[in-house]
């Protein structure tokens, strides 16, 4: 199947667009709606249904989730309501939309898109994509093969979860200068480099649009660090890529 709808659920917004799977290009302008507060499963499913209806979409749908997803079931929910844990999201969204649905970790989806169409194309060895947004998401690839649900944003740095120190949300909430925030990101990347020795870091999420503000300030890393080529559309594209792989 050449086309699928990608839906990217984040801590603050839910984005969707139909995707041409042969090129990774959006087939229409993406639509973004606010993530409900509280982000209860039925409330989020209603927003997803609204997006699907808005595109008059029939066919496979891929949906990202900011947490561990195993066989369509949510296992962690760091930046959305805890009632998601043990929810069968594939069934929930399938019933809400009336379509065949796949659910995948949000950073894993962004990584799939970047390794197929973006900054990770053809890259051998270990590649680590990190999305810096409401939290920190991670996607680990070995010779182009995804190791799913890594959740490296929860590794501790100085006694606190990395995403509580180096996410974009923390930068905004604490009004950190680009220099001070880049120092925190640099420390986190150095920690990940000691653990995994990646050849390449790809920095995704909304902050990737402002990579010139902080990437030049990073020092001391052996690995190359680049912004996501698909910027903040990578999640939508990766979600759509997952849909036909797992939907009947």
The number of folded domains in the chain is 2
pLDDT confidence band for 102 (50 / 70 / 90): very high
Q: Are residues 176 and 238 in the same domain?
A: no
> Is residue 114 assigned to a domain?
no
> Is residue 113 assigned to a domain?
no
Q: Are residues 196 and 165 in the same domain?
A: yes
Q: Are residues 95 and 125 in the same domain?
A: no
CATH code of the domain in which 147 resides: 3.30.420.40
State the pLDDT at residue 168. 94
State the pLDDT at residue 246. 47
Q: How far is CA 28 from CA 18, 19, 25, 31, in A?
A: 6, 8, 9, 9
> What contacts 220, CB < 8 A, 6 or more positions away?
186, 190
Q: Are residues 42 and 87 in the same domain?
A: yes
State the pLDDT at residue 90. 97
State the pLDDT at residue 176. 97
> Is residue 23 assigned to a domain?
yes
Q: How far apart are CA 35 and CA 112, in angstroms?
A: 23
> Is residue 96 assigned to a domain?
yes
Q: Are residues 139 and 98 in the same domain?
A: no
pLDDT confidence band for 3 (50 / 70 / 90): very high
Q: How far apart are CA 3 and CA 244, in angstroms?
A: 9
> Is residue 42 assigned to a domain?
yes
State the pLDDT at residue 1. 53
State the pLDDT at residue 220. 81
Q: Are residues 10 and 103 in the same domain?
A: yes
25, pLDDT greater than 90: yes
Q: Are residues 147 and 204 in the same domain?
A: yes
State the pLDDT at residue 247. 46
Instruction: Summarize pLDDT for 29-58 with one digit per residue, the tens.
Output: 999 999 999 999 999 999 999 999 999 999
245, pLDDT greater than 60: no
Torsion of CA 224, 229, 233, 235, to 10 degrees: -40
State the pLDDT at residue 244. 61
Q: Are residues 102 and 40 in the same domain?
A: yes
Nearest to 11 by CA among 142, 135, 155: 135
Q: Are residues 210 and 239 in the same domain?
A: no
CA 184 to chain centroid: 20
Q: Are residues 133 and 101 in the same domain?
A: no
Q: Are residues 129 and 95 in the same domain?
A: no
> Is residue 225 assigned to a domain?
yes
Q: What are the tokens at 179?
A: 């220099």
Instruction: Summarize pLDDT for 159-212 with one digit per residue, the tens.
Output: 999 999 999 999 999 999 999 999 999 999 999 999 999 999 999 988 999 999
Instruction: Summarize pLDDT for 141-160 with one digit per residue, the tens.
Output: 999 999 999 999 999 999 99
Q: Are residues 224 and 181 in the same domain?
A: yes
- Domain holding 179, by residue range, is 120-229
Q: Which residue has the tokens 């409401």?
A: 134
């Amino acid at each position: 199947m050449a086309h699928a709808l990608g839906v990217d659920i984040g801590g603050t917004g839910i984005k969707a667009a139909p995707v041409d799977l042969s090129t990774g290009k959006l087939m229409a302008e993406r639509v973004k709606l606010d993530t409900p507060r509280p982000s209860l499963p039925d409330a989020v499913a209603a927003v997803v249904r609204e997006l699907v209806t808005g595109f008059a979409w029939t066919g496979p749908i891929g949906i990202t989730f900011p947490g561990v997803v195993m066989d369509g079931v949510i296992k962690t929910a760091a930046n959305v309501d805890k009632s998601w844990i043990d929810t069968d999201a594939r069934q929930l969204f399938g019933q809400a939309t009336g379509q065949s649905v796949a659910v995948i970790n949000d950073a894993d989806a962004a990584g799939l898109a970047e390794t197929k169409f973006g900054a990770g194309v053809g890259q051998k060895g270990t590649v680590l994509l990190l999305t810096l947004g409401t939290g920190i998401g991670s996607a680990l690839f070995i010779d182009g093969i995804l190791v799913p649900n890594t959740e490296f944003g929860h590794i501790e740095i100085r006694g606190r979860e990395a995403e509580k120190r180096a996410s974009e949300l923390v930068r905004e909430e604490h009004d950190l200068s680009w220099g001070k925030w880049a120092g925190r990101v640099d420390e986190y990347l150095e920690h990940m480099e000691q653990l995994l020795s990646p050849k390449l870091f790809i920095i995704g999420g909304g902050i990737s649009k402002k990579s010139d503000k902080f990437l030049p300030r990073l020092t001391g890393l052996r690995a190359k660090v680049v912004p996501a080529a698909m910027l903040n559309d990578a999640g939508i594209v990766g979600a759509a890529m997952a849909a036909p792989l797992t939907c009947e």
